[in-house]
């Protein structure tokens, strides 16, 4: 807590110094695009509780996003975004916990971005950016199969498209006004962080056990990739262009799968009635990703499409060690199957569009084939997202009566393999800087899919956002 107070005090002192410096600058210079230091940010209050018998309060987030930006006349720019958060609910279990403010009042600091960029570095048409930065690829609305440079941030499963930044060397070569070439180098792989709170187990996959076996215990160990300068690096290239009213890009990425695979599993009997414990070694498979995206406007309708083709750099095996069941055999008993052949690819894509009506209405539709946690072409589900919103009273009030998603995992047996999420929302803009929203999220479904795993987690959400 002392660190947070100290940083906020420093930020306030910087802001005061910035205002004093601006007071000493002539008015005509204040209106240039090169202020001494620009400070902006946002406060977000996010509270949620479950609509069940207990009305359980499960999400408490108070976040200050502080952005600092400085531009120089020589083309140098500094930018940083830092989150100061009071996040989570008190989790005290003993009297000893009452001595720990970190348990009673959980706070944290997170550097979201921190970088320096230079326009015209070495060459007039070469821009270089170095530091911790978020590099978003793709043209779709938040759901981007080609957006794989930065690790996913799945902390809030309902915040689609959120990523963390990465320590990156980012270079853009502008060939002319319509075409550019981007090269990105990230020196080491960073894993995706998984959902928390009531979302924690939604993405966990269940073991398919042989008949007669019952899982009694489960543990795992992640085999972390070595910090090798070349082998563990993530890098990519993107050619971006504009022609005949169409924005498009072609991209290539060399990295690792976003989620680990249970590559080696050790089965151990725990009783005489089929109970087993499983210890898994989890590994991140090295991958190549080829991407293509486009965006255009057809008859005032915004249209986009995006696709990504994933290749494993080597065969991904799943090995099961069953030696504990056969203690008298001289050789270990290991079954070996190929989970993902390097000669096979998996294809994910999204298409969508949006339209602004003349009287304050807006509609957005997307169809996504394959979510982040799904592997293998035969296991990719179909996701349909729809949102309609309309503003009233000079845009002081916004209603979203039709908002949500529908998932199909097996079209041949739709009644047992579907899910939906209905997310109506009302937003009141108290001032241009402050908005208050109230929304509900209702889940239903059957089968093994993302939203069906949330069907008992209907919730109500209240958010307050203030920008400065």
**Cα–Cα–Cα angle for 58, 59, 64, rounded to 5 degrees:** 165
d(CA 93, CA 80) in angstroms, rounded, equals 37
Per-residue model confidence as pLDDT tens digits over 167-187: 999 999 999 999 999 999 999
Per-residue model confidence as pLDDT tens digits over 86-110: 999 988 999 998 989 888 889 999 9
Backbone angles phi, psi at 342, to 5 degrees: -70, -15
Check if the beta carbon of residue 334 is closer than 8 Å to that of residue 321: yes
Cross-strand partners of 39: 68
Instruction: Kindly report which listed range (49-53, 65-69, 409-413) carries the lowest average pLDDT score.
Output: 49-53
Per-residue model confidence as pLDDT tens digits over 345-376: 999 999 999 999 988 899 999 999 999 988 87
Question: Which residue, among 326, 335, 334, 215, has the nearest Cα to 278 in the 3D structure?
Answer: 215
The pLDDT assigned to 206 comes to 67
The pLDDT assigned to 6 comes to 44
d(CA 133, CA 110) in angstroms, rounded, equals 13
Lookup: tokens for 415:
């009644």
Per-residue model confidence as pLDDT tens digits over 316-341: 999 999 999 888 898 899 999 998 99
Check if the beta carbon of residue 410 is closer than 8 Å to that of residue 445: no
Question: Which residue, among 246, 221, 236, has the nearest Cα to 166 in the 3D structure?
Answer: 236
The pLDDT assigned to 140 comes to 96
Which strands, in side-by-side order, build the sheet including 214-222? 214-222, 275-283, 261-269, 316-321, 334-340
Per-residue model confidence as pLDDT tens digits over 208-231: 777 788 889 999 999 998 888 777
- pLDDT average, residue stretch 302-314: 96
The pLDDT assigned to 406 comes to 96
Average pLDDT, the chain: 90
- pLDDT average, residue stretch 4-11: 43
The pLDDT assigned to 211 comes to 79
What 341-344 contacts at long range (C-beta under 8 Å, 24+ apart), as own/partner pairs, is: 341/312, 341/315, 341/316, 342/311, 342/312, 342/313, 342/314, 342/315, 344/312
- Name the 3-class secondary structure at 377: helix
- pLDDT average, residue stretch 300-326: 95
Check if the beta carbon of residue 122 is closer than 8 Å to that of residue 263: no
**Are β-strands 76-87 and 361-369 bridged in parallel, bridged antiparallel, or unpaired?**
unpaired
The pLDDT assigned to 203 comes to 83
- pLDDT average, residue stretch 412-418: 94
- pLDDT average, residue stretch 54-60: 89
Residues 6 or more apart from 434 whose CB is under 8 A from it? 464, 465, 466, 467
d(CA 367, CA 352) in angstroms, rounded, equals 6
The pLDDT assigned to 34 comes to 52
- pLDDT average, residue stretch 283-289: 96
Q: How many CB atoms lie within 10 A of CB 114?
A: 16
pLDDT band at residue 111 under the 50/70/90 scheme: very high
The pLDDT assigned to 386 comes to 98
Give me the percent of the chain exceeding a pLDDT of 90.
Answer: 74
d(CA 148, CA 307) in angstroms, rounded, equals 12
- pLDDT average, residue stretch 150-172: 95
């Amino acid at each position: 807590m002392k660190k947070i107070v100290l940083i906020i005090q420093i930020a306030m002192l910087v802001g005061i110094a910035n205002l004093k410096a601006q007071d000493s600058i002539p008015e005509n210079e204040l209106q240039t695009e090169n202020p001494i230091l620009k400070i902006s940010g946002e406060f977000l209050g996010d509270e949620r509780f479950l609509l069940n018998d207990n009305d359980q309060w499960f999400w408490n987030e108070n976040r200050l996003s502080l952005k600092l930006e400085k531009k120089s006349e020589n083309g140098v720019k500094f930018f940083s975004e830092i989150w100061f958060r009071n996040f989570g609910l008190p989790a005290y279990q003993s009297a000893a916990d009452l001595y720990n403010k970190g348990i009673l009042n959980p706070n944290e600091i997170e550097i979201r971005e921190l970088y320096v960029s230079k326009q015209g570095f070495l060459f007039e048409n070469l821009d270089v950016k170095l530091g911790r930065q978020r590099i978003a690829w793709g043209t779709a609305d938040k759901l981007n199969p080609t957006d794989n440079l930065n690790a996913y941030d799945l902390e809030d499963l309902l915040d689609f498209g959120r990523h963390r930044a990465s320590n990156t060397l980012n270079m853009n070569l502008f060939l002319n006004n319509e075409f550019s070439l981007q090269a990105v180098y990230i020196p080491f792989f960073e894993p995706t962080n998984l959902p928390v709170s009531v979302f924690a187990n939604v993405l966990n996959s269940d073991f398919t056990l042989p008949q007669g076996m019952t899982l009694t215990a489960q543990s795992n160990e992640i085999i972390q990739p070595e910090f090798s300068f070349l082998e563990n690096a993530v890098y990519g290239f993107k050619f971006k262009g504009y022609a005949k009213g169409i924005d498009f890009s072609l991209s290539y990425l060399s990295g690792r799968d976003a989620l680990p695979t249970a590559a080696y599993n050790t089965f151990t009997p725990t009783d005489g009635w089929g109970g087993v414990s499983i210890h898994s070694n989890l590994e991140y498979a090295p991958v190549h990703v080829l991407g293509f995206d486009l965006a255009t406007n057809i008859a005032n309708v915004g249209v986009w499409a995006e696709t990504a083709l994933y290749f494993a750099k080597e065969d991904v095996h799943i090995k099961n060690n069953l030696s504990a069941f056969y203690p008298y055999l001289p050789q270990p008993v290991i079954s070996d199957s190929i989970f993902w052949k390097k000669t096979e690819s998996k294809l994910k894509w999204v298409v969508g569009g949006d339209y602004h009506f003349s009287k304050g209405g807006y509609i957005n539709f997307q169809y996504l084939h394959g979510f982040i946690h799904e592997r293998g072409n035969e296991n990719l589900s179909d996701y349909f997202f729809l949102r309609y919103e309309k503003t009233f009273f000079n845009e002081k009030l916004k209603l979203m009566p039709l908002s949500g998603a529908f998932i199909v995992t097996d079209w041949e047996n739709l009644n047992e393999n579907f899910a939906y999420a209905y997310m109506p929302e009302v937003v009141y803009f108290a001032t241009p800087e402050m908005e208050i929203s109230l929304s509900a999220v209702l889940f239903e479904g059957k089968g093994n899919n993302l939203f069906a795993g949330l069907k008992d987690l209907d919730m109500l959400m209240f958010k307050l956002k203030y920008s400065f």
